[in-house]
Each structure stands twice: as C-alpha cells, then as structure tokens.
Amino acid sequence: MASEVLAGEPLASYSGTAPAEPRNTKSKRRNVVISDAHPFDLEVYISQYTGRAAINRLRFIADECEQLAPQALQRAIQLIIQTRDASLYQRTVHEFNSRPSAADVIPYNSEWAEMTHAQNTSERERLETELKTYTSNMIKESIRMGHRELGDHYWSVGDYSQSLKHYNKSREFCTTNQHVLEYSLTALQLLLEHCDYSHIAAYIFKAEAAFAPPEGSKDSSKKSTVIHPPGSAAAAAAASAAANPDREKAQAKIDYANGIAFMAQGHYEKAAFAFSKLNRSLDDWFGTVVAPADIAIYGTLCAIVSMTRSSIKVNYHENESFGYFLEQEPYARELLDAFMNSRFSVVLDLLDRNSSRHLLDIHLNRHVSGITNEIRERSVVLYFQPFATVQLEKMSSAFGMSVSEMEILAAHLIQDGRIKARIDSKNKVLVVKENDPRVALYRRAFKTARDTQKLTEKLLFRMRLMQADLIVKAPKRDNHPSQQQIPSQFGSEVAP
C-alpha cells in the first residue's frame, strides 16, 4: 500500500485527497448540465447520505457540475464543520471562495479550524501514548484496539493513508476471525469512501478468509457463490439469510464492495451478479457508504449492459430482495421493464433523462458514457435479431435517433461482427447477410486442404533442414560475411 506519510501534520497532509486528484484534472472540463430534460435534485439526493459519504459526494458534484457547485460546496461546508477534518474545511472554503462567479464569500472560521486542529493533535498524542503503553505491555488485544482507534482518528481527520496504515497494523494483533472480519470491513469502507477500487479485491479476500472456518461446508458453498455466481445467486443468499443475520450483513457488505470493484474494472456482468445478491441486510452501510437508490441504479445498469435476458429475468426482474432497491429509484424498474420488453427508445430516453444523475454519481461517473454506448449497441443488436431486412428509418425511430446516426452505428456494429448484415445505403435498408452453408463448407474444405498441403510441404522441408543441421546458430565464429552483399533495396533499385 503506497502511503507517503507526512509526519503527523494533518493540515499539511493532503493524502486524503489522493484519489480525488486524477478526477479533478480529468473532469474539470466536463461540465454536467442540469436542465428540465436532465433533472437532478441535489437536496433529495444528498439527504440519502450522512457524514463523509455526503461530503465526498457534494465535493464531487461541485467538481463535476458548475451549476450546482455553490450549493454543493455550501452544503458540504455545513457538514464538514460537524466533523473534525480541519484541512478539508480549509480547502473547501477556499474552493468556494475562489470560484470565479463567487458572489458571496463564506468567511473562514479560523477559530474553529485552529481549535479542531489543536483538539486533533492532542487526541492523536493521547492515542499514540496509549498505544506505546500497550505495545510495551505486549497486550495483543489492547494493541489491536490502539491501532484501530488511531485508524478511526486519522479517518475522522481525513488522513486516509495513515488511517489505512493503522488499520493494517491492527490486523497483526487480531486474535479471532471476528476481528479480522471487522477489520477487513472497516478497511473496505475506507477504500470505498476514497474510491480506491484497485485494492478492494485484496480486502475482500481477507474478509472471506476470515469468514470461512467457523461454519463448515455450508459456508464454502456460499463463499463460492461470490466467485462463481450461479444462475440464481440471490436465492442462495436469501436461503442462508435466516441462518445468521450478522454473517448475512458481512456478506452483503462484501458483495457490495465486490460489485463496486468489478464495476470499476469494467467487468459489468460480474458486478451485476454481485449487486443482484444484495438485500436489506446491507442497512449498516445505508447512508454512510451507499444509498439504496444507488444500488438500484448500479445493479440495473450493469445488468442491462452485460447480462443475457434470461439472467436479468432471474437475477433482477424476479428477484424480490432486489425489488426493495428498485422501489427507491422507480425509474430503475422502468428501465428494466423497458429493456425486457424491447422498448429500446424508452430505455435510451430514460438513460438520457437520468444522465446527469448518473454522471454526478461518484462511482458511476467514469462509466456513464461507456455503459450508455454499450446499451445502445446491445439494443440495436437485439432489435435486429429477428429480422431479415429492416428499414433504417424504422430502426432509427425505434431508437430515437436520426437515420444517418443509425447508419453509422449499424456500420460500426457490422464491422465489429456483432450484426451479421449489410447496409443498403441507397435504399436505407439493413439486410441480413446471406450465407449458403454448402458453399461456405466447400470453401472451407478447399482452403483447409490447400493449407494442410502447404503446411505439410513446409514442415517436411523444415525437417530436412534440421536433419542436415542447417540451423541458424548464434554467430560466434563467423559474422555472416555474405550478408552484407544482400541488396535489401526493393523499389528503388530492383523493382521495375
């Protein structure tokens, strides 16, 4: 874990913003526009989150959307002042005041900042002294607690890498699987908060390892569902739900983290399976890490972008526990229904209408354009499947785009080999490629025969060469004297 530690100076340490930095540079130019066609209600949205989850999202929205920036930053400052993160406070106030269009200025409450900073310092010193005492006394459990508390402390002041460092140290002093699980889940929460997707898998692995031993064979089967989700993973999850609510909660957290990690890597199908297993037992993290509505959106988008219709049906459409999430975000269910009923223009409309909601999501942002394109392409492929010929005009109206756009998209899909058809550009018709299997077979047989013949000859010649030991060897004794004379000029000298 890369963690440059700036010796205990939280105000100077910007490590907490490390994951936010690339986002800033990348998306400064991308400005999400909120309009009637692309509505987004910041108040409703942010009320689903609490604490740092809310602050991070507000700051993210401020980065992404010029329109909402003042509102979001103001709201963020209100929330930050309730925490102990003085450096974040300073930065956010600075950001707010340095906006070019800043009409009003939020005064920097230096008194609060200094006080908080002082408190933080004394708190940290106290915790560090305690930890030292524990360490010298060699009490494992206390050392673990000490590290954990320091981790909590650094987290609350916004020093991400120090926090993770202490959590990781606490692991060495874990005595029971329960401790390891607790530690892994805390770390996961921290990683999720900072969008550090690449490390999630490692902690999931640790959490699952801690999970396995106490309950025998049942667990191993359950564990395997995480890696190889079968047809109805949700059913399996539901079956074991009754067994142990605590375990169920931990499992839900792992599944969620897994889903986010897969989504971040672009493995949408795996992500969709992971999300489909979630249910209400994730409630510990609702608000602090994720909102139920988010899960509805992540799950739905990942599903329709990657899953086959039958598995969408089993894992989402008929999955009652996921229904809970869909209730939180009604358009997600509409999206699913429209996709399942092949009403593709509705699907694309909904995607477009909610694009700002998607773009302003901290995890989804990077994927929006990719997912939207992919859904559009999949829809075209699905739409075309039953036809032998389709008028491009009809097709384009079904997808709500112009004929020329449709033609370009179709050409692209044909070149990718996803539609077996050709475009009659003059008459604006898409026609299925006719394939005479008999001819194709003959062609292939002849080609194979010729190739085999050639290959045999070549191999025989090669064998002869080897038999005669005419093998190129490293030039130790001679330096290929004859090589120099070989004219490699092609066009210039030799060619007619």
Q: Site residues (CB under 8 A) for other proteins?
A: 411, 414-415, 422-427, 429, 431, 434, 436, 439, 442, 446, 449-450, 452-458, 460-468, 470-475, 480, 482-483, 485-492, 494-496
CB of 436 to other proteins, least distance (A): 8
- Dig out the tokens for 350 from the structure: 């909904």
**Closer Cβ to other proteins, 35 or 483, answer by number:** 483
340, with CB counted inside 10 A (0-12, 13-18, 19+), is middle
Instruction: For residue 165, give Cα distances in angstroms to 100, 153, 168.
Output: 38, 12, 5
**Closer Cβ to other proteins, 351 or 423, answer by number:** 423
CB of 308 to other proteins, least distance (A): 26
CB of 264 to other proteins, least distance (A): 28
**Closer Cβ to other proteins, 25 or 415, answer by number:** 415
φ and ψ of 277, to 5 deg: -85, -10
N-to-C CA span, the chain = 63
**Closer Cβ to other proteins, 1 or 408, answer by number:** 408
Instruction: For residue 381, give Cα distances in angstroms to 302, 313, 367, 413, 421.
Output: 17, 19, 21, 8, 11
**Closer Cβ to other proteins, 79 or 423, answer by number:** 423
- Dig out the tokens for 288 from the structure: 């602090």
CB of 456 to other proteins, least distance (A): 6
Asked if residues 428 and 403 have their Cβ atoms less than 8 Å apart, the reply is yes
CB of 309 to other proteins, least distance (A): 27
- Cα 55 to Cα 483: distance, rounded to the nearest angstrom: 70
Among 362, 366, 274, residue whose Cα is nearest residue 322: 274
CB of 451 to other proteins, least distance (A): 11
Spatial CB neighbours of 409, under 8 Å, sequence gap ≥ 6: 376, 377, 380, 401
**Closer Cβ to other proteins, 41 or 457, answer by number:** 457
**3-state SS assignment for residue 480:** coil
**Closer Cβ to other proteins, 242 or 471, answer by number:** 471
CB of 30 to other proteins, least distance (A): 24
Asked if residues 126 and 114 have their Cβ atoms less than 8 Å apart, the reply is no
- 104 CA to centre of own chain: 37
CB of 239 to other proteins, least distance (A): 48
**Closer Cβ to other proteins, 7 or 494, answer by number:** 494
